[in-house]
Amino acid sequence: MNGSAPSVAPKVGVVVLNYRNYADTVACLRTLAAVTYPTIETFVVDNDSRNDSLLQIRAGLGWSSADCPTVAEAELDRGAALPGSRFSVQASANRGYAAGNNLGIRMALARGCDYVLVLNNDTEVRPDFLEPLVAYAEAHPDFGAVGPKIVNAEGGVDLHCARRRPDLGFYFFSTGIGRKAWPNNPWSRRHYYKGEYAFDLPKEVDLLSGSCMLLRRAALAQVGLFDEATFLYQEELILHEKFRARGWRQAIVPESVVMHKGGQATLREMPAPIRKAARESLRYYLEHYRHFGRFTCLAIEWLAGGLPRFFRRKKSPVRNLPN
């Protein structure tokens, strides 16, 4: 995993959260094992899958328990002192996407990592993807997070890798009935930087994709980790609000490229437990971080989850299901 770059490079801890889908996790970790960045530690967090995921991951990669020791959730302090560069963390319960990632982030910070890369398990990375992210972050100390250009399996740009903070127009025209009535509306175009950004040069943006984000240690120390009040979804939007309140900026660095297999499912297309969790996360974000009134929150929630005939998009894998 180590390349020939100087050992003084900032240490990056990569957190990969697994929930039952160990096949994707193995594929992701295979690509991560080929990266050329020299100082990297990997933290595979199993979010209480209850299907021997960590054993299956080790078997798929040919790792022994010595190659990748398992640390229980209650023993993160012990894990901070272990030798090696690959670790498994076993969550004691599935408390959601934010809480699961936070276990890996806490261990990475306890081990002295300068940056933490949160990487979805349904991604695959290029060998040289990390150097441009770290270089940009090192050159811009006021940026709390940087992210790569996210592409789909066909090589097309996933527009969710660079977005503006959503406004009321976006919620109506991009998640509600306005999306069908006026697909190329200016609110959607503005939200996704359409027509103004070619995803070719670094650019400051409001929101990065939660599928791959390089987070600065100093920023996390100031604003805290992911908000564990949400079980699923809205994590990057909430983190943006926390960064925004303390003056931290974010940028996309398209020289770095990561492929994301997943997509964005609408509320109507999700299984019932996930639909409920997503709706609760949306309401929490709107009320606690955007401070919208109750009527506005209910209207946005209705637009996002109501009127099923207006929400016909391709289904995608869900990152993290409730037990």
pLDDT at 268: 55
Whole-number Å distance between alpha carbons of 226 and 97: 9
Residues 130-173: tens digit of each pLDDT: 999 999 999 999 999 999 999 999 999 998 999 999 999 888 88
Checking if the pLDDT of 206 tops 60, the result is yes
State mean pLDDT over 251-256: 98
Contact 232, 274 (CB under 8 A): yes
CB count, 10 Å around CB of 152? 13
Q: Would strands 162-163 and 212-216 be described as parallel, antiparallel, or unpaired?
A: unpaired
Residue 145 dihedral angles phi and psi, to the nearest 5°: -150, 145
Given pLDDT bands bounded at 50, 70 and 90, which one contains residue 263? low
Query: Among 3-12, 56-65, 66-75, 242-251, whose mean pLDDT is lowest?
Result: 3-12
Per DSSP, the residues of 242-297 read HHHHTT-EEEEEEEEEEEE------GGGS-HHHHHHHHHHHHHHHHHTS---HHHH
Phi, psi of 305 (to 5 degrees): -120, -10
The model's pLDDT over 13-36, given as tens digits with 9 standing for 90+, comes to 999 999 999 999 999 999 999 999
The CA–CA distances, whole Å, from 242 to 140, 239, 250, 272, 320 equal 19, 5, 12, 29, 23
**Is the torsion defined by CA of 179, 185, 189, 194 positive or negative?**
positive
Average of pLDDT values for 177-196?
86
Rounded CA gap, 34 and 270, in Å? 34
**Rounded distance, CA 264 to CA 295, Å?**
26
User: What's residue 303's pLDDT?
Assistant: 80
- At residue 178, does pLDDT exceed 60? yes
Residue 185 CA to residue 177 CA, distance in Å, equals 12
pLDDT digits (tens, 9 = 90+) for 288-314: 999 999 999 998 888 876 543 333 333
> pLDDT class for 321, splitting at 50, 70, 90?
very low
Residue 6 has pLDDT above 70, yes or no: no
**Burial bucket for residue 117 (CB in 10 Å: 0-12, 13-18, 19+):** buried
Half-sphere exposure of 114 (CA within 13 A, CB side): 12
Distances (CA, A) of 78 to 13, 73, 82, 88, 102: 17, 10, 7, 13, 17
Rounded to whole angstroms, the Cα distance separating 47 from 87 reads 14
Predicted local confidence at residue 320, as pLDDT = 47
Query: What pLDDT band is residue 8 in, cutting at 50, 70 and 90?
Result: confident
Confidence of residue 175 (pLDDT cuts 50, 70, 90): confident
